[in-house]
Amino acid sequence: MKFFAILDAIMSVAVKETFAETAVLHPRISTPYAERAPDPEHAAQSVEGVFSAGPGADSIGGQQRGRQFIGTTRFAALQASFWIAQSEAVQLVRVPQVGDLLTMPGRAAQPGFAISRIEHSDMGDLNLMLVIEDDAS
Protein backbone atom coordinates (compact mmCIF):
# COMPACT_ATOMS: atom_id res chain seq x y z
CA MET A 1 0.00 0.00 0.00
CA LYS A 2 1.35 3.40 -0.90
CA PHE A 3 2.17 5.94 1.78
CA PHE A 4 -0.55 8.38 0.71
CA ALA A 5 -3.19 5.63 0.73
CA ILE A 6 -2.15 4.65 4.27
CA LEU A 7 -2.27 8.28 5.41
CA ASP A 8 -5.70 8.73 3.77
CA ALA A 9 -7.05 5.64 5.55
CA ILE A 10 -5.75 6.87 8.94
CA MET A 11 -7.22 10.35 8.41
CA SER A 12 -10.56 8.95 7.22
CA VAL A 13 -10.87 6.89 10.41
CA ALA A 14 -10.01 9.92 12.57
CA VAL A 15 -12.53 12.15 10.77
CA LYS A 16 -15.25 9.49 10.99
CA GLU A 17 -14.65 8.89 14.71
CA THR A 18 -14.82 12.62 15.41
CA PHE A 19 -17.53 13.95 13.09
CA ALA A 20 -19.50 11.07 11.54
CA GLU A 21 -23.19 10.53 11.99
CA THR A 22 -25.67 8.04 10.62
CA ALA A 23 -27.82 8.95 7.66
CA VAL A 24 -30.30 6.90 5.66
CA LEU A 25 -30.16 6.73 1.88
CA HIS A 26 -33.60 6.28 0.30
CA PRO A 27 -33.35 5.25 -3.36
CA ARG A 28 -35.88 6.98 -5.61
CA ILE A 29 -37.02 6.78 -9.20
CA SER A 30 -36.74 9.99 -11.20
CA THR A 31 -38.82 10.37 -14.33
CA PRO A 32 -39.46 13.50 -16.38
CA TYR A 33 -42.55 15.51 -15.44
CA ALA A 34 -43.26 13.42 -12.35
CA GLU A 35 -42.51 13.70 -8.67
CA ARG A 36 -39.73 11.41 -7.45
CA ALA A 37 -41.08 8.17 -6.01
CA PRO A 38 -39.47 5.54 -3.77
CA ASP A 39 -37.66 2.84 -5.74
CA PRO A 40 -39.46 -0.45 -4.95
CA GLU A 41 -36.48 -2.52 -6.15
CA HIS A 42 -33.97 -1.06 -3.68
CA ALA A 43 -34.29 -0.81 0.10
CA ALA A 44 -33.15 2.15 2.17
CA GLN A 45 -29.70 1.73 3.70
CA SER A 46 -27.87 3.33 6.61
CA VAL A 47 -24.52 4.95 6.01
CA GLU A 48 -21.95 6.69 8.22
CA GLY A 49 -20.61 9.99 6.93
CA VAL A 50 -19.86 13.60 7.71
CA PHE A 51 -22.54 16.22 7.08
CA SER A 52 -21.36 19.73 6.35
CA ALA A 53 -23.38 22.87 5.72
CA GLY A 54 -21.93 26.32 5.58
CA PRO A 55 -21.88 29.56 3.70
CA GLY A 56 -20.47 29.69 0.22
CA ALA A 57 -20.36 32.07 -2.69
CA ASP A 58 -21.26 31.42 -6.29
CA SER A 59 -20.90 33.73 -9.21
CA ILE A 60 -22.85 34.15 -12.40
CA GLY A 61 -20.67 35.61 -15.08
CA GLY A 62 -21.98 37.93 -17.74
CA GLN A 63 -20.45 38.41 -21.13
CA GLN A 64 -16.69 38.40 -21.35
CA ARG A 65 -14.53 40.09 -23.95
CA GLY A 66 -10.85 39.49 -23.57
CA ARG A 67 -9.98 40.47 -20.01
CA GLN A 68 -13.12 42.61 -19.59
CA PHE A 69 -16.19 41.41 -17.79
CA ILE A 70 -19.48 43.00 -18.73
CA GLY A 71 -21.62 42.22 -15.74
CA THR A 72 -20.89 39.63 -13.12
CA THR A 73 -22.98 38.75 -10.09
CA ARG A 74 -21.95 37.04 -6.87
CA PHE A 75 -24.46 35.67 -4.43
CA ALA A 76 -24.27 33.94 -1.08
CA ALA A 77 -25.59 30.42 -0.71
CA LEU A 78 -25.70 27.60 1.79
CA GLN A 79 -23.70 24.63 0.58
CA ALA A 80 -24.57 21.26 2.08
CA SER A 81 -22.73 18.00 1.50
CA PHE A 82 -22.37 14.52 2.99
CA TRP A 83 -18.94 12.89 2.75
CA ILE A 84 -18.69 9.11 2.76
CA ALA A 85 -15.24 7.56 3.31
CA GLN A 86 -14.00 4.88 0.91
CA SER A 87 -14.22 2.19 3.60
CA GLU A 88 -17.94 2.96 3.99
CA ALA A 89 -18.63 3.56 0.29
CA VAL A 90 -17.50 0.07 -0.75
CA GLN A 91 -20.04 -1.45 1.66
CA LEU A 92 -23.02 0.27 0.04
CA VAL A 93 -25.43 -2.16 -1.59
CA ARG A 94 -26.40 0.49 -4.15
CA VAL A 95 -24.33 3.53 -5.07
CA PRO A 96 -26.33 6.73 -4.42
CA GLN A 97 -27.90 8.34 -7.48
CA VAL A 98 -28.82 11.95 -8.23
CA GLY A 99 -32.36 12.45 -6.92
CA ASP A 100 -32.12 9.96 -4.05
CA LEU A 101 -33.22 11.15 -0.61
CA LEU A 102 -30.81 11.37 2.35
CA THR A 103 -32.39 11.69 5.80
CA MET A 104 -30.66 12.49 9.07
CA PRO A 105 -32.56 10.57 11.80
CA GLY A 106 -30.12 11.62 14.54
CA ARG A 107 -31.09 15.27 14.20
CA ALA A 108 -34.09 16.77 15.96
CA ALA A 109 -36.05 17.82 12.86
CA GLN A 110 -34.84 14.77 10.87
CA PRO A 111 -34.15 16.90 7.79
CA GLY A 112 -34.31 15.38 4.33
CA PHE A 113 -32.02 16.29 1.45
CA ALA A 114 -32.13 15.40 -2.23
CA ILE A 115 -28.81 14.46 -3.80
CA SER A 116 -28.09 16.99 -6.54
CA ARG A 117 -24.57 15.92 -7.52
CA ILE A 118 -22.14 13.13 -6.66
CA GLU A 119 -18.40 13.70 -6.61
CA HIS A 120 -16.10 10.64 -6.67
CA SER A 121 -12.56 11.09 -5.40
CA ASP A 122 -9.60 9.19 -6.76
CA MET A 123 -9.30 7.57 -3.31
CA GLY A 124 -12.81 6.06 -3.53
CA ASP A 125 -14.60 8.56 -1.29
CA LEU A 126 -18.03 9.92 -2.19
CA ASN A 127 -19.10 13.51 -1.62
CA LEU A 128 -22.85 13.96 -2.00
CA MET A 129 -23.89 17.54 -2.79
CA LEU A 130 -27.30 18.14 -1.24
CA VAL A 131 -30.33 20.39 -1.55
CA ILE A 132 -33.00 20.59 1.11
CA GLU A 133 -36.05 18.51 0.31
CA ASP A 134 -39.34 20.35 0.03
CA ASP A 135 -41.72 19.41 2.89
CA ALA A 136 -44.79 20.08 0.71
CA SER A 137 -44.84 16.54 -0.71
Query: Residue 8: its pLDDT value, please?
Result: 77
pLDDT over 90 (residue 42): yes
Q: How confident is the model at residue 70 (pLDDT cuts 50, 70, 90)?
A: low
Query: Residue 61: its pLDDT value, please?
Result: 58
Count of the separate structural domains present in the chain = 1
Which is higher by pLDDT, 30 or 27?
27
pLDDT over 90 (residue 1): no
Domain range for residue 10? 3-132
Taking CA atoms, 57 is separated from 60, 77, 106, in Å, by 10, 6, 28
Q: What is the pLDDT of the chain when averaged over all its residues?
A: 83
Q: Is residue 137 part of a domain?
A: no
Q: What is the value of pTM for the model shown?
A: 0.76
